C-alpha cells in the first residue's frame, strides 16, 4: 500500500496508550514524524521512548496537552510546527466517557465534559491545524468516532451521541475543507483499550463469540485503518466513515 507518509508530520491526540499510541506507532513505521499528545507528560515520554526504539529513524515529539484546553492545544500544535516545520496529518483520537447509565440521568457536568473532549475538541484541534499550516499546504484529518455513533445502545447513550456528532463533523469539515484537506472518520467496534475496559474485561470471550470475526478488536486494527486514511492510498476519499468492528454491526443479519 502506498502511503506517501515518509517525511510527513502527524499529530495524534490521546496518544499515550491504546488506539492513539498504536496509530502513532504505525505512522512512525511508515516514516512519518509523530507528535504525541495527551494529558500526562510522563506517560507520553514513555510512549515516545517505545516508538523511538522500534523506529529509530522517525522523529518523535511528546507534548502534554489536555485535549479540551484551548491554550494547551495551541501550544502543542505550535510545538509540532516549530519542531518539524508544519503539520500534514491530524488524528483526533482523544476521548472520554465519565458516565454510564440512562441519558435522562446524566449530570450537566458529565455531559459538558463528554462534549468538550469527544466533540468540540475535534473542532478545536482542526481549527488549529488549519491555521498552523494545513490551510496552505493541505493534509489529511482522521477522526476516531465509534460504531456507537451509528446505533443505539444502553448505558453509553450520551457518549455515543457525541460520537455520532464526530461522524457528522467529519462530513461537514470534509465539504468545507476540500480539495486541500481530506477529512475521514473511523468508527471502531469494541477494542481492547483502557477506556473500554469496563465493557470487555470480564466479557472478552463472550463478545468474541458474538462477533463474526471471532474476537474483539486490538488497537493495531484501528491503527492500520488510520494509516490508510492518512496516506495516499485513500487520496480519493473524503467525508467517509470507515467501520472497523470485526463485523459486529452486521451480526443481526447473519446466522
**Domain spans in the chain, listed from the N-terminal domain onward:** 9-189+219-245
Q: Which of 159, 200, 207, 228 is catalytic?
A: 159
In angstroms, rounded to a whole number, what is the distance separating the alpha carbons of residues 205 and 199? 12
Residue 241 has pLDDT above 70, yes or no: yes
Q: Is residue 160 within 8 Å of 148, Cβ to Cβ?
A: yes
Nearest to 147 by CA among 236, 51, 225: 225
Sign of torsion over alpha carbons 187, 140, 171, 228: negative
Checking phi first, is residue 92 left (phi over 0); if not, alpha (psi -120 to 50) or beta? beta
3-class SS of residue 185: strand
Please state the pTM of the whole predicted model. Answer: 0.95
Residue 189 CA to its chain's centroid (Å): 13
How far, in Å, CA of 108 to CA of 210, rounded? 35
| Rounded Cα distance, 24 and 231, in Å | 13
CA 223 to chain centre: 9
Residue 65 has pLDDT above 60, yes or no: yes
* pLDDT for residue 225 is more than 50: yes
Measured distance CA(99)–CA(101) in Å, rounded: 7
Q: Does residue 253 carry a pLDDT above 60?
A: no
- For this structure, is 99 an active site residue? no
- Give the chain's mean pLDDT: 94
Q: Which of 5-19, 84-98, 120-134, 184-198 has the lowest mean pLDDT?
A: 184-198
Distances from the Cα of 97 to the Cα of 94, 117, 187, angstroms: 11, 9, 16
The pLDDT tens digits for 89-102 are: 999 999 999 999 99
Write down the pLDDT at residue 200: 57
pLDDT mean over 96-125: 97
What's the confidence (pLDDT) of residue 197? 66
User: pLDDT-based confidence at 254, cuts 50/70/90?
Assistant: very low
Cα–Cα–Cα angle for 73, 75, 79, rounded to 5 degrees = 120
| The three grid cell numbers given for residue 13, joined into one nine-digit string | 491526540
Q: Say if residue 255's pLDDT is above 50.
A: no
**pLDDT, tens digit (0-9, with 9 covering 90-100), for 162-203:** 999 999 999 999 999 999 999 999 999 999 887 766 665 677
pLDDT at 209: 81
In percent, how much of the chain has pLDDT > 90?
87
Domain 9-189+219-245 part of CATH 3.40.50.720:
yes
Sign of CA dihedral 77, 83, 87, 88: negative
Amino acid at each position: 500500500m502506498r502511503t506517501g507518509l515518509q517525511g510527513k508530520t502527524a499529530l495524534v491526540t490521546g496518544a499515550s496508550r491504546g488506539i492513539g499510541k498504536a496509530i502513532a506507532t504505525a505512522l512512525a513505521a511508515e516514516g512519518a514524524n509523530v507528535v504525541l499528545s495527551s494529558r500526562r507528560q510522563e506517560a507520553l515520554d514513555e510512549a515516545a521512548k517505545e516508538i523511538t526504539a522500534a523506529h529509530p529513524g522517525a522523529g518523535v515529539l511528546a507534548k502534554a496537552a489536555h485535549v479540551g484546553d484551548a491554550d494547551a492545544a495551541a501550544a502543542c500544535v505550535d510545538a509540532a510546527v516549530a519542531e518539524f516545520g508544519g503539520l500534514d496529518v491530524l488524528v483526533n483520537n482523544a476521548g472520554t466517557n465519565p458516565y454510564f447509565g440512562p441519558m435522562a440521568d446524566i449530570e450537566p457536568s458529565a455531559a459538558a465534559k463528554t462534549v468538550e473532549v469527544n466533540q468540540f475538541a475535534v473542532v478545536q484541534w482542526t481549527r488549529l491545524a488549519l491555521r498552523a499550516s494545513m490551510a496552505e499546504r493541505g493534509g489529511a484529518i482522521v477522526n476516531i468516532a465509534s460504531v456507537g455513533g451509528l446505533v443505539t445502545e444502553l448505558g453509553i447513550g450520551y457518549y455515543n451521541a457525541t460520537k455520532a456528532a464526530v461522524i457528522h463533523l467529519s462530513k461537514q469539515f470534509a465539504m468545507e475543507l476540500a480539495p486541500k484537506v481530506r477529512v475521514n472518520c473511523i468508527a471502531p467496534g469494541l477494542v481492547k483499550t483502557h477506556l473500554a475496559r469496563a465493557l470487555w474485561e470480564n466479557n472478552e470471550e463472550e463478545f468474541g463469540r458474538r462477533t463474526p470475526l471471532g474476537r474483539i478488536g486490538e488497537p493495531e486494527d484501528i491503527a492500520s485503518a488510520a494509516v490508510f486514511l492518512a496516506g495516499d492510498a485513500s487520496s480519493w476519499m473524503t467525508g467517509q466513515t470507515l467501520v472497523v468492528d470485526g463485523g459486529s454491526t452486521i451480526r443481526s443479519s447473519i446466522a
